């Protein structure tokens, strides 16, 4: 299934993206360290955001399939850019806090599910993506 997304350049290094199916819109801005104002997510911020949201989503799908709720789970990600050229994402360390006990019987299943998310699988292998799972049950 294809999803159409349209991006309109607004000027001032800002873009407006429109999600075709829902018509939801987001604005991006270039980051301060790359000539922008940093007033919104940058395109590379959205890559980091997509990774965190994808991991959270697939883990929650798996939890629902297994009959339990992990509402309140938190995923944080840090985006690290290269110091050299070409400018690129070099590291996306992720911390996932799960509101379940460390000895939960589906711990390994949930961790494997996060690592198998489509965004994680789609990112270039040169991007470091260390994941820390924190079980807070």
Same domain, 37 and 52: no
What's residue 137's pLDDT?
A: 77
Q: What is the pLDDT of residues 46-82, one digit of tens each?
A: 999 999 999 999 999 999 999 999 999 999 999 999 9
- Indicate which CATH number applies to the domain containing 66: 3.30.300.20
Percent of all residues in the chain with a pLDDT value above 90, rounded to a whole number: 98
Q: What is the pLDDT of residues 36-53, one digit of tens each?
A: 999 999 999 999 999 999
**CB-CB contact of 13 with 54 (8 Å):** no
Same domain, 7 and 57: no
Same domain, 65 and 113: yes
Same domain, 22 and 50: no
Percent of all residues in the chain with a pLDDT value above 70, rounded to a whole number: 100
Mean pLDDT computed over every residue of the chain: 97
- Rounded to two decimals, the pTM is 0.94
Residue 41 neighbours by CB under 8 Å, 6+ apart: 26, 28, 29, 49
Strands lying side by side in the sheet with 74-77: 74-77, 94-98, 131-135
Q: Among residues 19, 44, 47, which one has the least CA distance to residue 29?
A: 44
Same domain, 63 and 81: yes
State the pLDDT confidence band at 1, using cuts at 50, 70 and 90.
Answer: confident
State the pLDDT confidence band at 30, using cuts at 50, 70 and 90.
Answer: very high
Same domain, 76 and 104: yes
As for how many domains the chain has, the answer is 2
Range of the domain at 30: 1-41
Whether the per-residue pLDDT at 108 is higher than 80: the answer is yes
């Amino acid at each position: 299934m294809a999803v159409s997304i349209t991006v309109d350049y607004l000027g001032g290094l800002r873009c407006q993206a429109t999600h075709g199916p829902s018509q939801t819109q987001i604005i991006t801005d270039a980051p301060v360290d790359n000539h922008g104002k940093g007033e919104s997510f940058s395109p590379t911020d959205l890559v980091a955001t997509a990774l965190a949201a994808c991991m959270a989503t697939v883990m929650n799908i798996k939890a629902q399939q297994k009959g339990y709720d992990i509402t309140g789970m938190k995923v944080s990600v840090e985006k690290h850019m290269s110091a050299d050229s070409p400018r690129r994402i070099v590291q996306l360390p992720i911390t996932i806090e799960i509101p379940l006990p460390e000895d939960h019987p589906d711990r390994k299943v949930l961790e494997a599910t996060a690592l198998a998310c489509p965004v994680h699988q789609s990112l270039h292998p040169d991007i470091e993506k260390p994941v820390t799972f924190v079980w807070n049950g």
